[in-house]
Amino acid sequence: MDKNFIGREREIESLTKCMESNQAQLVVVYGRRRVGKTFLIESFFEDDFAFTYTGAYNQPKSVQLMNFTDEIRFQTGANIDVPQTWREAFSELRAYLSGVDKDKKQVVFFDEMPWMDTHKSDFLPTFEWFWNSWGSKQKNLVFVICGSATSWMMENISDNKGGLFNRQTCRIYLEPFNLSETEKFLKTKNINWSRMDIAECYMIMGGMPYYLNLLNSSMDFRQNIDELFFRKKGQLWDEFTHLYHTLFNNGDMYMDVVELLSKKKSGMTRAEITEANISSSSNTINKILGNLVSSGFVRVYSYYGHKKKEEVYQLCDYYSLFYFKFIKDNYGKDEYFWSKSYENAKINNWRGNSFELLCKDHIRQIKKAMGIEGVVSEEYDWFTRKKDNKKAERGAQIDLLIDRRDMTVNICEMKFSRNEYSIDINYEEELRNKIEAFRREAEPKKTILLTMVTTWGVKKNKYSGIVTNQVVLDDLFE
């Protein structure tokens, strides 16, 4: 592999074991669009494939089969007629693979497999037949399946209860880069921004390699954002609609749910979403939410001490949040919007909310900085409402609780600022109220500690003593 390849150590280790096995391998690679699945496979195998085929988006079976035939002809030299069914197509593939070197690993790569499974195509049962009747018996065969439609990959391949049940030998879910990997990736592009700029870039794009690769080293951070998102016909100006329509059938319904979630920072319960989205049935909403969660656009969590039925769905896709906040109603109006509006109140509010999401995506790094990386824990949000009959008991909300197995709970406060964060008398009172409200209502028989996660640390003053330990932005890059 290229020595400049960034991250993916566990995935590379898994693929290496597949190549070293003396049994047939069915490798399933999934993860949301733009995360780098195809790049990983092509880089690892260095284009040493026996056969590759990529599904065509929104094309019927006839077109898929014509494309498949073209690839067979081009890659193998075989002069075959266009098959009428997928069974005929897989028979041709089997005939070709039967004649290749049996002493060498033969890697077959099907990219964007969900797009091949068109209506009434019989693609999936035919693939099951191919693998179970022949492929699984070929000790030198490594068959790699890849797809961006994560929900389809999970339902039809990973969690298949039919002919592919328990057949995959390797399953890889590819996640976005973390901050450290993002920084390393940008350096390979000769982009040497400050960590503040990298963090803010992450809060717009997430750790999506495709988006990051579009950044131009000859421009500063703000110029890049204007160029990609706000310039007319910029490379990401229509990404939102394209993204959801290529991943999901009835993409408009998914976008409606995502837009609804974008309006409430802390998320919504299933009941709240169903009630607000009156155009869709409860069963449809359930399916949409499940697919959004499995695809990594939405996270689902429980409030500390609350019942499972009160699970909350929170939009956690950075790009989607940025789109609804700044792009949707601004596109084409100001091509220099980000550079000119960089310090307005709306953007500063967005930074604070997005930094909280950034922290939640780097829990491992936070725990490492706190010296509790090896301690088993669960993470929650928590809130309590004001007691009407008790004026002294105010409401409180905590956006991150780290509930540790060692009988300790860390209440984490996350603050984005350009300098050291200064705690004043009002904020100290708010922090004490959160601690006491949690102690009073949750009644944990555990030690409660206050942790501040900030960009530059907490400024030492007469109010900062309430903080037990600190985590700074540099720690999130570990």
Residue 150 has pLDDT above 90, yes or no: no
| Predicted local distance difference test score (pLDDT) of residue 306 | 66
Residue 388 has pLDDT above 60, yes or no: no
| Predicted local distance difference test score (pLDDT) of residue 444 | 77
At 205, list the tokens: 């794009």
Among 258-267, 327-336, 356-365, 367-376, where is mean pLDDT lowest?
327-336
pLDDT tens by residue, 248-265: 988 899 999 999 999 999
pLDDT tens by residue, 296-323: 999 998 888 765 557 899 999 999 999 9
- What pTM did the predictor assign? 0.91
Residue 391 has pLDDT above 60, yes or no: no
CA distance 80 to 73: 7
Closest C-alpha among 133, 164, 170, 143 to residue 52: 143
Q: Report, as an integer, the average pLDDT of 433-460.
A: 92
pLDDT tens by residue, 283-292: 889 999 999 9
pLDDT band at 147 (very low <50, low <70, confident <90, very high): very high
Closest C-alpha among 137, 147, 138, 161 to residue 57: 147
Residue 95 has pLDDT above 70, yes or no: yes
pLDDT band at 1 (very low <50, low <70, confident <90, very high): low
| Predicted local distance difference test score (pLDDT) of residue 221 | 96
Residue with the bigger pLDDT between 51 and 79: it is 51
Burial class (CB in 10 A: 0-12, 13-18, 19+), 53: buried
pLDDT band at 386 (very low <50, low <70, confident <90, very high): low
CA angle 433–438–444, rounded 5-degree value = 145
DSSP string, 149-206: -HHHHIIIIIT--STTTTT-SEEEEPPPP-HHHHHHHHHHTT----HHHHHHHHHHHT
Name residues whose C-beta falls within 8 Å of residue 444's C-beta, 6 or more positions apart in sequence: 403, 409, 438
Residue 333 has pLDDT above 80, yes or no: no
Q: Report, as an integer, the average pLDDT of 179-187.
A: 97
| Predicted local distance difference test score (pLDDT) of residue 393 | 62
User: What is the percentage of the chain residues whose pLDDT exceeds 70?
Assistant: 95
| Predicted local distance difference test score (pLDDT) of residue 428 | 96
Q: Report, as an integer, the average pLDDT of 396-416.
A: 94
At 460, list the tokens: 């030492």
At 70, list the tokens: 């073209």
pLDDT tens by residue, 222-243: 999 999 999 888 889 889 999 9
Q: Report, as an integer, the average pLDDT of 180-189.
A: 96
Q: Report, as an integer, the average pLDDT of 411-434.
A: 96
Among 3-12, 275-284, 286-295, where is mean pLDDT lowest?
275-284
Domains and CATH numbers, the chain: 9-173 (3.40.50.300), 179-237+331-356 (no CATH), 240-327 (1.10.10.10), 362-476 (3.40.1350.10)
Residue 478 has pLDDT above 60, yes or no: yes
| Predicted local distance difference test score (pLDDT) of residue 378 | 93
| Predicted local distance difference test score (pLDDT) of residue 179 | 98
| Predicted local distance difference test score (pLDDT) of residue 169 | 85
